[in-house]
Amino acid sequence: MRSSQAQGPSARQEVDSGIAFFRGQLMPIKDANVSIATHALNYGTGCFEGIRAYWNGDNNELFILKGLEHFDRFLRSAKILKIQVPYTAEELLEWTRAMLKANQFRQDVYIRPLAFKGAAVIKVTLSGLHDDLAIFAVPMGDYVATEGLKATVSNWVRIADNIIPSRAKVTGAYINAALANDDAALDGYDEAIMLSQDGQVAEASSSNLFMVRGGRVITTPVTADILEGITRQAVFQLATDQGIPVDERPIDRTELYVADEVFLSGTGVQLAGVVEIDHRSIGSGTTGPITAALQDAYFKAVRGSDTRYLDWLTPVYAEDR
């Protein structure tokens, strides 16, 4: 296990304590409540982000990873859903820093901004409803193992962008991922790979997918009904900096079976190596050299250990020293 990957509790832990930002102020999570009649609870009319912050014990600092990029995407998702967010990305990042400081986290955490239709209204609509905003965080380790993953191609098809916006992190859309991931887990797999409606590879259940063939890193294009991943862009930069060519193009299902390497990227999964798909070994059946090199570079970057990527990071406690 790489010591620099996320350390902490499972993503399955109950969130029952801490300080959240809700309706314009910091408050205990237990007091940040909504009605059972809330529109977003009934219809999935909300959007969210997942952001990690990594603790660097040597520097006594907590680094928010690509905070502005995440909040920019958050605002784009809100725009698609006609949700009014009364803050800029920069202001949301500052409130996140304040929330993390109020919690006095000294460990790796996962941050969840959430914007949603807060009205207690039954009408199925997006217009004419008031909106709510919350940001909270919870200590979290690896979402899935970062090595040795076994995956299967799911029978559940990835939602198309003209059905539910695939480039927005829409709360209700994640039933698609939950169905695929739960079936995969019940069948003994760690992750599900989803095809688009045209039968080509889209992404994993809640992460982007990369494969390596002939020394080239290859991933599906943004037109393949994928989420436009922040970590996906980080992989592009890391690969380019290491002289590894990157291609965005369609990927057939059977290409995965003959790939030299396959890995997943995302805030939750970080960079995670896949060694088997549909009972077929990928490459040598272990984490490949390109995946390992990108993982090492990524985990150094997210903790501020590689100064080339300090612009990825927002320190939480720097101003207090």
Domain tally for the chain? 2
pLDDT at 83 over 90: yes
Same domain, 62 and 192: no
Write the pLDDT tens digit of every residue in 230-266. Answer: 999 999 999 999 999 999 999 999 999 999 999 999 9
CATH number for 68: 3.30.470.10
Same domain, 281 and 159: yes
Residue 183: count other Cβ atoms within 10 Å of its Cβ. Answer: 16
Domain that holds residue 274: 149-302
Same domain, 231 and 133: no
- Single-letter amino acid code for the residue at 94: E
Same domain, 134 and 273: no
Based on the residue annotation, tell me whether 123 is a catalytic residue of this protein.
Answer: no
Strand 191-195 with 270-277, pairing: unpaired
Same domain, 23 and 130: yes
Write the pLDDT tens digit of every residue in 23-80. Answer: 999 999 999 999 999 999 999 999 999 999 999 999 999 999 999 999 999 999 999 9
- 312 close to 284: Cβ distance less than 8 angstroms: no
Same domain, 158 and 48: no
pLDDT at 2 over 70: no
Candidate list 66, 117, 150, 169, residue with the active-site label: 169
Same domain, 98 and 128: yes
In a domain, 117, yes or no: yes
Opening angle at CA 306, ends 301 and 310, nearest 5: 70
Same domain, 276 and 212: yes
pLDDT at 143: 87
- 288 close to 273: Cβ distance less than 8 angstroms: yes
pLDDT at 321: 53
Same domain, 156 and 280: yes
Same domain, 185 and 224: yes
DSSP for 33-102 reads ---TT-HHHHH--EEE--EEEEEETTTTEEEEESHHHHHHHHHHHHHHTT----S-HHHHHHHHHHHHHH
